[in-house]
Amino acid sequence: MINLTETALKVLEERYLLKNERGEVVETPHEMFRRVARRVASADEIYGSNSHETEELFYSVMRNLEFLPNSPTLMNAGTPINQLSACFVLPVDDSIESIFESLRNMAIIHKSGGGVGFSFSRLRPMGDTVASTMGVASGPVSFMRVFDVAVEVIKQGGRRRGANMGVLHVSHPDIFRFIDAKTSEGPLRNFNLSVSVPDRFMEDGMVDLINPRTGETVDSVPSREIFRRIVKAAWRSGDPGMIFEDRINRHNPTPSLGRIEATNPCISGDTLIMTSEGPLPVNELEGRAFMAVVNGSEYPSSSGFFKTGHKEVFELKTREGYSLKLTHDHPVLVMEDKPVWKAACDLERGDMLVMDSGSSFNSGERLSTFLSLKSKGYEDVYDACVAGANAFNANGFIVHNCGEQPLLPYESCNLGSINLSLMVSASGVNWERLRRTVHTAVHFLDNVIDVNSYPLPEVREMTLRTRKIGLGVMGFADMLIKLGVPYNSGEALGVAERVMSFIEGEARRASSDLADERGSFPEFSGSIWDEMGFGGMRNATLTTIAPTGSLSIIAGTSSGIEPLFAVSFTRNILGRKFTETNPLFERIARGQLKRDTVEMIMSRGSLQGVPGVPEKIRRLFVTAHEINPVFHVRMQAAFQRHVDNAVSKTVNLPPDASIRDAERVFRAAYELGCKGITIYRYGSKMNEVLRFPEYAGSCRDMSCPN
């Protein structure tokens, strides 16, 4: 017997359970889990394993609500659609053909149940010239409206409305139009927006606004002006968020593909690479294997160079006349006390750059003195993975190859979440149950890659190269309540670190074990896992924290790593309203609180300010708006330290929070090591997904506890 709430059953009937041509539900939740388990387990047969035993294992963790895969897997596995991935990234280049090709591909993906992320940073700005028609460009925001309208008329798989992520780089001339695009309700309702910023943006300097078509700087704006505009817009509407692109590149083996298009260290296509065939330009090595020659030794690149996008490039020059075009974050070899890698943007005048000597690294390196680094506009840029050396000779310079797997256009990622509220025993966290669930979940998500029916051939090709998965969690707030730990406490931060560190470690062990049985992901050689000394890894990324909105409803637990929204609230699902009360509160209330006290709490949605509530219970059932906003960021950062990809968390602000409060949150996210940040001020939208019966209990200022 599956223990499902009334709301969970309604959601399953509306969105997940199979229906006949008359719209009648024709399967039970048991049968849905069996359908999914059978299809996903069938991948074991590819590797000579017993799929029947695996089917029972997969069925068990879903039936017990210990682990649930993302919605497309529950909806589509074992059906003719069979599209099982949650998130995709599609390129949008600066041409009508590319824009509408991406629109077409988006429609195909949404129809089959996925969500899509786009970077619109390559599109020419509003007012720019369109040479083919002698007309004037309308800019990226106008094309985003076209995408938005298309999503409005497409339901994902017929049951799930599409969602898009739109990203624009802070240096785009239309950045202010993008920031303000959702400050009034209605426009771009099917987009979440984020501004992608480099570290130097947070250093309070000037931002050059650069036309991506020409590479010319059209204006320079103080970064604080853009930052304040972002904060004000987010305070008003919840959009945009911010993505810290340099941090993603430094710390993430392969950035989360359903959410953003990240910037990878890259070089221009006309760069000469020393190979066993002699010096060859990058664009002749695109997509083909070659032997890189570094200091006289040969090293293989099995896949050759790959295009990573159309990005701003900088010309690095030395006093001796050497030059190289590369992105600002590409590491080059510098001689200090010993050779060290240094990002191009961190070079200082007089730094000694190591040039290829034609022999071993340590036998009299040739050195060249750094002179300057200047922007040269936007170009198509490339990177490669070179096994063994993890570097290559580019125009004579020794530069690092992709120490991380690149975020390639057309990749997808399939997600799943462990229900932490079930990983608690009388003595504390049930580490053994959690360990077993992690290993089963990694096995499940890896199998999904093999049995998936991909909506586009390009998606299939790219996904199989890196085999990315995203294992996350839900029910963290409920876990803390069961452990007797208030969410807004230092102890809760410690629980977050220990639990996610454990999941991270066990997921790596599970992926390594699968690599022993099935082989590593094809791009393993030269990857960060290779550099770290792992003998093999099945998956390029393993962990992420997804929002788990629908999954947590099915599991009957709190969403993702969020605190409780309220102890009692109204939920708006598919236009229908459901009143919910936290079951853990109900259990405690029955034995420890008077009826009139409980009724007051239920009417307010909060324990704060209600007389007759013991302090321990009041602290245990703290809700999102009663927590200092910066503490939300601290919790996000605690999880981020043990997550490959990004952490989805919303910093909830009370309705009377100030713009200054919102600014503190954005700054804290950068300072504490988050990869991105999203805020939401309650009441800033007319239609709330979750609503208090009577708004109460908010954190009125930044001095509230933690």
Amino acid at residue number 417: S
> What's the chain's length in residues?
706
266 assigned to active site? yes
C-beta neighbour count of 153 within 10 angstroms: 10
Q: Whole-angstrom Cα distance, residue 478 to residue 420? A: 8
DSSP assignment of 196-261, as one string? EE-GGGGGT-EEEEE-TTT--EEEEEEHHHHHHHHHHHHHHHS--EEEEHHHHHHH-SS--TTT--
DSSP designation for 591: H
What spatial distance separates the first Cα and last Cα of the chain, rounded to whole Å? 41
SS3 content of the chain, % helix, strand, coil (to 5): 35, 25, 40
Q: What φ, ψ does residue 40 adopt, rounded to 5°? A: -70, -40
Q: Catalytic site residue 264?
A: yes
DSSP-derived 3-state class of residue 543: strand
The span from the CA of 569 to the CA of 465, in Å, is 44
Is 50 labeled as catalytic in the residue annotation?
no
Give the span between the Cα atoms of 557 and 584, in whole angstroms.
10
Tokens read off for 152: 């409005």
3-class secondary structure, 333: strand
| Residue in 266, 385, 674, 704 annotated catalytic | 266
3-state secondary structure of 420: helix
Active-site residue, from 66, 312, 404, 523: 404
Please state, in angstroms and rounded to a whole number, the distance separating the CA atoms of residues 479 and 419.
9
Q: Within 13 Å, how many C-alpha atoms sit on residue 381's CB side?
A: 29
Angstrom distance (rounded) from CA 592 to CA 665: 37
| CA quadruple 691, 676, 641, 551: dihedral sign | positive
Catalytic residue among 249, 264, 390, 582: 264
Catalytic amino acids?
264, 266, 404
